[in-house]
Structures are given as C-alpha cells and as structure tokens.
Chain A
Amino acid sequence: MTTRTDALPTQEMTINMGPQHPSTHGVLRVILTTDGEVVTRALPDVGYLHRALEKIGERVTYAQYMPFTDRLDYLAAMNCNCAWAWTVEKLAKIEVPERAEYLRVIVCELNRISSHLIAFGSYTADMGAFTPFLYAIRERERVNDLFEMLCGNRLTYNYARVGGVSGDAPPGFLEKTKEFLDYFEPKIDEYNNLISYNKIFVHRLANVAVIPAEDAVAYGLTGPNLRGSGVPFDLRKDEPYSVYPKFDFKVCVGTGERGTLGDCFDRYMVRINEMRESVKIVRQAVARIPDGPVRAKVPRLFKPPVGEVYFRSECPRGETGIYLISDGSVNPFRLKIRTGSFVTMSIFEKVTRGLMIADVVAVIGSFDIILPEIDR
C-alpha cells in the first residue's frame, strides 16, 4: 500500500517476526505490516508446534495420557497434569483421598509461582532489563529442587494420577517447602523495588494495549489476562474444585494503578500479586495437610462410564478446559483441550493495531503465552 504525502511516497513494510525470535516466547510467527515504526497489522501465525496431542489422546489409555499433558504447558506441567486427573475423575466420579488433593494443590500453586516467575523474568528481559530474569531463574531453581525431591523430575513431572498422585511426599519435603516460602516471600518485594515500579519500565507498559472488560470477556480471555482488565473471576474461588474452598486467599485484580485499567502493566502486576497469594495458599496447605493414602484404587485398564464432561481449572496462563467424551472403552473417544494461551491470541490482532514494534513485544510478554499450549 503506497500513500502519498506532500513530497515523498511512503510504503508499508512487511516484516516477519519469525518463528525464531528472542521475544516471541516460543515458535510464534507474527507477520507485521508497519508504516515506519507503527504497526498497522500484526497477524499471528501459529501451528509451528502442533504435535497432534488431541489425536494421540484417542489412541492411548487414560493413564498413558498423563505424560502428554506435561508437554501441554511445560512451565506449568503440574497444573496440566492435575487438570487431566480432575477431568477423568469428574467423568468417572472417582473419590480422591484428601491427602492427595492437598498435595495436588501444593504442587499446583508452587508451579504457579515458578510459571509466573518465568513470565516476570522473560518479560523484563524482553524490556531490556536482563538482571531480573536471572533472579527469577534462581528462585525457580529452588522450586525445581522441591519438585525433584517429590517426583524426581524438574520439568515434565507426570506426578498426578487418575485417583490421586503417584507418590507421597518424602520426609522433609514439607519442611523444605516452608523454608522456600520463607525465603521467597520477601523476594517479591525486592523485585517490585528493582523493576516493577521503575519509571522506564512503567512507561513501557502503562497505557499499552488497553483491553476493556467487555472485550476481555467477549474474546474469551481468562486467568491473569482477564483479571488484569478488572474482572474479578478466578476459577479457584468462583467454581472451586478440589480442596480450594478450604483456603483463604485474595483474587488479584488489575487496578489501573499506573496508566489505564486493562493495560500491560495491570496484567503484569496481577501476576506479581498472584505469586504472593500462591505463597499464602501453600503455607496453609502445608500446615493443614492430613495424613492418609495418596491414591485411590483405580483398575489398571480403567474404563469410565459413557458420557461427556467439561472440566476447567485455573492454570497460570488462563483456564485449561478439557472436554472429554468417553464411549466406555479404555481410550478416550474425543479429547479437546482448550487452553488460555490459544484464546488469548485471538485478541492479539485487534490490540496491536497502532502500536509500535517495541510495543508488540510488550504485548506478547504481557499475555504470557506459551506456544505448546496454543498449538497442542
């Protein structure tokens, strides 16, 4: 498209923010059409990481599918594992022992902390401050150590099972978790002092990509992205599952404290505050965890009754909803995973019109998308 100003004809430039790019949080391709530095259209092109997880689900058994859910969102693998376990348990109406539910909540919230740390770290690294990223990694290493103690793995845990969890917490795990929480909670204030309210950082994020609440709901945004626009909807409080009703925590909502309600800064601050709330939840869980078995008796070749169930849980990047259709056999009939990042990308094109290229990076970071979730 050529526009004629008084003297010089100008042309729009099509740049590929290609699958390989330091800031796209995975293999995301964004086709930018820019007029100088201002973006006129940013078209996301996803699918580079499509691994046919839904088709695979139709040919493995319910228990065999658990490791695949790890790879769904590898930064929040515990949450995805537990989401699958809860879905199947809802379908087959399996009673899960209470200790197992407490353990699931502990690992889910710890994983929420480590996922938000990565979101925080990589976002600040995209904005040019390289140091907070390494601090976030340092804290995350401690969470990884806890998980390694628990299930032997640092990234793809495969910890939950249909009917419970794979193994009980080893002796010392709960004490180490408390130590970590005591160490970590003051760090959040340190990060706020270092970067969150830094003038340059605030200027980069405030008033960028404002998403009003109605748009957020209409476009299906969930999780921190929805709460950043001021909608106080958190599945853990509003459609509670597992043992979440027993815990006391706040729902973190964006307040427009620097800039407009629903801008990138709000979404960022929601994640920082959620880390604090997760620490609270884990503290309460560790204090109150009952004794007992950690796994219900589920037959080896498990055949749930015929039926269709939709279960959604609050994962760090939004809600992960699993629509499971069972025809009574050992394999699921149809398995649809609806992830937060996938739906968040639908508003991407609308929100980036008129921004500068540097802001596109800020928007991608504030949505906290991860490609395996989008592409499955």
Chain B
Amino acid sequence: MEAQILFDTLKGKFGDAVVELQGEGCSPAFVVVAPAKVNAIARFLRDDPALSFDSLMCLSGVDYKEKFAVAYHLHSLKHRHAIGLKVMLPRENPSLPTVDDVWPAANFHEREAYDLFGIGFEGSKDLRRILLPEDWEGHPLRKDYKYPDFYHGIKV
C-alpha cells in the first residue's frame, strides 16, 4: 500500500495524533504520530484487515540532538508491505506508551531503547536494562553521554 494512502487512512481515523509523513529520503516512509496515541494506532495497524501489520521488524530509539525519537518499522506478512512509524519525544523525561501488548517482539527492543537512551515505556510488562549491568548509570547512546571514570572501582 502506498505510504500516502496509509497516511490518509490514519489521519482520517486518528486526526491530530497523526502529525506528518516523512517520505523524502526515507525508505520505508515514516508516519510521525503523537506519543499519547501510539498504542491505539499500533493496534489499528495490526488489526485492520487492509493493513494487517502483524510483524514488528524493528523498534529503535534515536537521538536527534534537540529531541528523541522512537522509530518503528512494521511489515505485513499478508500484504507484503512495510511502513515506518515515528514518535518524537522531548529531551526531558522522554516517555510513551508501550506496544508490547500489540507485538510481543517489542519488549526486548523497548528494553534496549530504555537501556541505551533512557526512553521510558509506560505500561511495559518488563522494563529493565538489558545490555548493560543493572546498576550502570547513564544512557550511553545519547549524544551528550559522558563516560564514567570508574565502575565499581575498575577504570573504564
């Protein structure tokens, strides 16, 4: 399905929560949505028969210097089309609803985004650090991250 048609369908259903379509230079195209409605939009994308995005390919956190973003890449096994979803978040306390009840695959990805960026996912069934030790301080993939000098007495 064409990205523009998808964007129009979503805009028709969710109105202002769907912000814009980033088609230039983006493959697959991104539909930027507001954080609050992410779960509802995700559920619609999965359940609507014409869309049926049943597979979450990837969920990544991004640090665009002024703001954070969470990028979702979705794919449909039935219709063989793909789309991206993007949510822009402020730098202080970035947080958005989880989608792991829509796609259970999201859980590990969300834990990674939390671990490396500090992005909180409300309602997640299990949000802990995944790659770094439980007691690590800071979120390394942020652009303004400073490496600690010592970790438990070991020079980093």
Q: Which residues of A contact B (CB under 8 A)?
A: 46-47, 50, 52, 54-55, 90, 217-220, 231, 233, 238-239, 305-310, 312, 319, 321, 323, 325, 334, 336, 338, 342-343, 345-347, 375-376
Interchain CA distance A310-B22 in the complex, whole Å: 14
Q: Which residues from chain B contact A220 at a C-beta distance below 8 Å?
A: 55-57, 103-105
Across the two chains, which residue of chain A brings its CB closest to B26? A308
A-B contact count (CB 8 A): 86
Flag whether B25 is at the interface (Cβ < 8 A): yes
Partner of B25 from A308, A312, A321 at Cβ < 8 Å:
A308
Partner of A323 from B73, B104, B130, B140 at Cβ < 8 Å:
B73
Interchain CA distance A376-B141 in the complex, whole Å: 13
Q: Which 3 A-B pairs have the closest CB atoms?
A: A220-B105, A307-B25, A336-B60
Q: Which residues from chain B contact A325 at a C-beta distance below 8 Å?
A: 62
Q: Which residues from chain A contact B98 at a C-beta distance below 8 Å?
A: none
B48-64 interface mask toward A, CB cutoff 8 Å, 1 = contact, 0 = none?
00000011111010110
Q: Which residues from chain B contact A309 at a C-beta distance below 8 Å?
A: 26-27
With contacts A54-B141, A55-B140, A219-B105 taken as known, whether A321 is within 8 angstroms of B57 at the C-beta atoms is yes
| Nearest CB on B from A230, distance (A) | 12
Q: Which residues from chain B contact A346 at a C-beta distance below 8 Å?
A: 104-105, 107-108
| Nearest CB on A from B154, distance (A) | 15
Q: Which residues from chain B contact A336 at a C-beta distance below 8 Å?
A: 58, 60, 62
Interchain Cβ contacts under 8 Å between A and B, 22 examples: A47-B132, A52-B140, A218-B104, A220-B104, A238-B80, A239-B80, A306-B25, A307-B26, A308-B25, A308-B26, A308-B71, A310-B27, A310-B57, A310-B58, A321-B58, A321-B73, A323-B60, A323-B71, A323-B73, A334-B62, A345-B108, A347-B104
| Nearest CB on A from B28, distance (A) | 6
Interchain CA distance A50-B115 in the complex, whole Å: 12
With contacts A220-B103, A308-B26, A375-B131 taken as known, whether A233 is within 8 angstroms of B62 at the C-beta atoms is no
B141 touches A46 (CB 8 A): no
Instruction: Classify the interface of chain A: helix, strand, loop or mixed.
Output: mixed
Q: Which residues from chain A contact B77 at a C-beta distance below 8 Å?
A: 217, 231, 233
A217 touches B55 (CB 8 A): yes
B108 touches A305 (CB 8 A): no
Interchain CA distance A238-B81 in the complex, whole Å: 11
Partner of B131 from A46, A305, A306, A334 at Cβ < 8 Å:
A46
- For the side of the interface on B, what is the size category? 20 to 34
B141 touches A308 (CB 8 A): no
Interchain CA distance A375-B111 in the complex, whole Å: 13
- Of A47, A55, A90, A306, the most chain B CB neighbours within 10 A belong to A47
- Residues of B115-156 whose CB lies within 8 A of A: 116, 129-133, 140-141
B28 touches A310 (CB 8 A): yes
Interchain CA distance A317-B71 in the complex, whole Å: 24
Flag whether B84 is at the interface (Cβ < 8 A): yes
B84 touches A310 (CB 8 A): yes
Flag whether B30 is at the interface (Cβ < 8 A): yes
Q: Which residues from chain A contact B63 at a C-beta distance below 8 Å?
A: 334
Interchain CA distance A376-B116 in the complex, whole Å: 12
Partner of A342 from B26, B62, B73, B108 at Cβ < 8 Å:
B108
Q: Which residues from chain B contact A238 at a C-beta distance below 8 Å?
A: 80
Interchain CA distance A237-B5 in the complex, whole Å: 26
A218 touches B103 (CB 8 A): yes
| Nearest CB on B from A219, distance (A) | 5
Interchain CA distance A217-B56 in the complex, whole Å: 9
- Of A90, A220, A342, A346, the most chain B CB neighbours within 10 A belong to A220
Interchain CA distance A346-B22 in the complex, whole Å: 30
Across the two chains, which residue of chain B brings its CB closest to A350? B104
Interchain CA distance A46-B107 in the complex, whole Å: 14
Q: Which residues from chain A contact B132 at a C-beta distance below 8 Å?
A: 47, 50
Interchain CA distance A9-B58 in the complex, whole Å: 46
Interchain CA distance A239-B28 in the complex, whole Å: 13
Interchain CA distance A375-B132 in the complex, whole Å: 9
Across the two chains, which residue of chain B brings its CB closest to A49? B131
Interchain CA distance A312-B74 in the complex, whole Å: 12
Across the two chains, which residue of chain B brings its CB closest to A238? B80
| Nearest CB on A from B107, distance (A) | 6
Interchain CA distance A312-B58 in the complex, whole Å: 10
